[in-house]
Amino acid sequence: MIEPRPADQQGETRFRGVTSRHHFCYGPYQSPDRINWGRLRAFNRLEVAPGGARGPNFLGAMEVLLIAETGAALVQCGGERILARPGEIIHLRMRGGDDFGLVNRGSQVAGLIELWLTSDEWSGPSQMSRQRWNHTEGLVASSRVEDAPAILLGTGASLRFVQSEGRRFCSLPLGSRHSYVCAMAGSILACDVELGANDALALADEPRADLTMRAGATCLVLEC
């Protein structure tokens, strides 16, 4: 099954200097057919104005990946704080009831992509770490130790980026029942569907994701 998720059909909220575009139900944006996709519970694209803040919110057991694109945002979870800068990914593993928030104390708008993955409850303390990404292609996060990912997930999922300086085709095998493909920049042809910036495809029981990348395009592929 292939289900397009166009950017112009996604939700949007504005609160306390934070503009959020939501692929799934989040806060005041509610849509019965957009609750989750596999383990993917939330996919938000955030713009945090100088002085803007969100949270802290108290969540259930969750793993969160924050992909910093522009500016800088201070991320806090369970008493820890990390400054997220462009080219970095913040990985949070939270137990139920811990707080999670972010604030922009800089002078530029902070742009981030936020992925929430539902996780099994665990007894350890919440953890937060930072990894360099540098906008390079390849597998970034995975729950499979043998993949040797930069970020080892506790949740059964994987995240990779695909990029192209010129037009090219690639066919990615999918090992999970649910996958989610999103164009981060530029335009791509994904499974014969045209995607522009922030357009997405929800895939179920598909063996592969066929991608025709156009010049300057970047997309993420999440197996969840």
Q: How far apart are the C-alpha atoms of 146 and 79, rounded to whole Å?
A: 32
Q: What is the DSSP string of 38-105?
A: TTEEEEEEEEE-TT-EEEEEE-SSEEEEEEEEES-EEEEETTEEEEE-TTEEEEEEE-TT-EEEEE--
164: Cβ contacts below 8 Å, ≥ 6 apart: 213, 214, 215, 216, 217
Strands 151-152 and 138-142, bridge-based pairing: parallel
Which residue segments constitute the domains of the chain, with CATH numbers given? 2-223 (2.60.120.10)
Q: Which residues of 100-120 are buried (b: 16+ CB within 10 A; e: fewer)?
A: bebbbebeebbbbbbbbbbbe
pLDDT at position 176 is: 93
> pTM for the whole thing?
0.92
Q: How far apart are the C-alpha atoms of 173 and 170, rounded to whole Å?
A: 10
pLDDT at position 135 is: 63
Between the alpha carbon of residue 204 and those of residues 88, 126, 208, the distances in Å are: 29, 31, 10
pLDDT at position 173 is: 96
Between the alpha carbon of residue 98 and those of residues 75, 84, 133, 193, the distances in Å are: 13, 20, 26, 39
Q: How far apart are the C-alpha atoms of 22 and 17, rounded to whole Å?
A: 16
Are 191 and 206 in contact by the 8 Å Cβ rule? The answer is yes
Q: How far apart are the C-alpha atoms of 100 and 92, rounded to whole Å?
A: 9
pLDDT at position 70 is: 94
Residue 197 DSSP label: T
**Per DSSP, what are the bridge partners of residue 82?**
75
Return the residue matching tokens 């005041």: 28
Residue 39 falls in which region: left (phi positive, over 0), alpha (psi -120 to 50) or beta: alpha
Q: What is the pLDDT along the chain (224 residues), one digit of tens a residue?
A: 999 999 998 888 898 999 999 888 666 666 667 778 999 999 999 999 999 998 777 667 789 999 999 999 999 987 889 999 999 999 998 877 678 899 999 999 999 999 999 887 666 778 899 998 766 678 999 999 998 888 999 889 999 999 988 889 999 999 999 999 999 999 999 999 999 999 999 999 999 999 999 999 999 999 99
**Per DSSP, what are the bridge partners of residue 181?**
201, 221
Other C-beta atoms lying within 10 Å of the C-beta of residue 61:
18
Q: How far apart are the C-alpha atoms of 3 and 17, rounded to whole Å?
A: 32
pLDDT at position 204 is: 97
Q: Coil, helix or strand for 146?
A: helix
Q: How far apart are the C-alpha atoms of 203 and 184, rounded to whole Å?
A: 17
